[in-house]
């Protein structure tokens, strides 16, 4: 999982470099590339979505720390257990099942960018809408079994 974090960090660095390049190209050469802009957006979206999984695995996800941090390990495990069971699993199950037809429709037409010179694989990015909830559900079940 450490390599996964390094991969996300490299993706962030790549996004920063490409953003800088896009600004320089537009400012100095009055050149704007839709493909470059969309690449930056795709990298950002991928890092954000994969970062959710990374944060959950390392127990750095959002919670109400004011109440959580002062509890004993037993109470923390209980909060994690019920939070996962009653909030995380239903939420990501809803996302997974409600977005299936949306992603399927994108794949069925091999959706591409509507912008001139944009990227031809919007459908690949939309696949993350299914992959991330599936990963989160798998990790949630693993955490439930381990912390029981």
pLDDT in tens, 66-104: 667 778 888 888 888 888 899 999 999 999 999 999 999
End-to-end Cα spacing for the chain: 23
Residue 117 has pLDDT above 70, yes or no: yes
Confidence at residue 118, expressed as pLDDT on a 0 to 100 scale: 83
Closest of 71, 52, 72, 74 to residue 61, by C-alpha: 52
Token pair 């990298």 in the structure block, residue: 43
Residue pLDDT, tens place only, 17-75: 999 999 999 999 988 888 999 999 999 999 999 999 999 888 877 776 666 777 888 88
H helical segments located in the chain: 2-29, 34-57, 65-68, 73-83, 89-108, 122-126, 128-146
Query: How many Cβ atoms sit within 10 Å of the Cβ of residue 55?
Result: 12
Instruction: Grade residue 15 by pLDDT with cuts at 50, 70 and 90.
Output: very high
Residues 6+ apart with CB under 8 A from 128: 45, 46, 49, 50
**pLDDT the model gives residue 64:** 65
Q: What is the pTM of this model?
A: 0.82
User: Counting every residue, how long is the chain?
Assistant: 148
Q: What is the pLDDT of residue 22?
A: 94
Residue 2 pLDDT > 90, yes or no? no
Boundaries of every domain in the chain: 2-146
């Amino acid at each position: 999982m450490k390599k996964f974090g390094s991969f996300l960090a490299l993706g962030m660095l790549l996004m920063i470099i490409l953003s800088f390049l896009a600004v320089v190209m537009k400012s100095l050469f009055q050149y704007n590339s839709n493909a470059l802009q969309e690449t930056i957006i795709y990298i950002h979206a991928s890092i954000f979505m994969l970062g959710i999984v990374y944060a959950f695995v390392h127990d750095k996800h959002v919670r109400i720390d004011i109440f959580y941090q002062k509890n004993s390990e037993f109470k923390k495990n209980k909060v994690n257990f019920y939070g996962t069971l009653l909030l995380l699993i239903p939420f990501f199950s809803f996302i997974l099942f409600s977005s299936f037809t949306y992603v399927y429709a994108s794949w069925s037409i091999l959706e591409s960018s509507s912008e001139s010179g944009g990227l031809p694989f919007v459908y690949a990015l939309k696949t993350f809408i299914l992959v991330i909830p599936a990963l989160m559900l798998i990790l949630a079940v693993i955490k439930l079994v381990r912390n029981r």
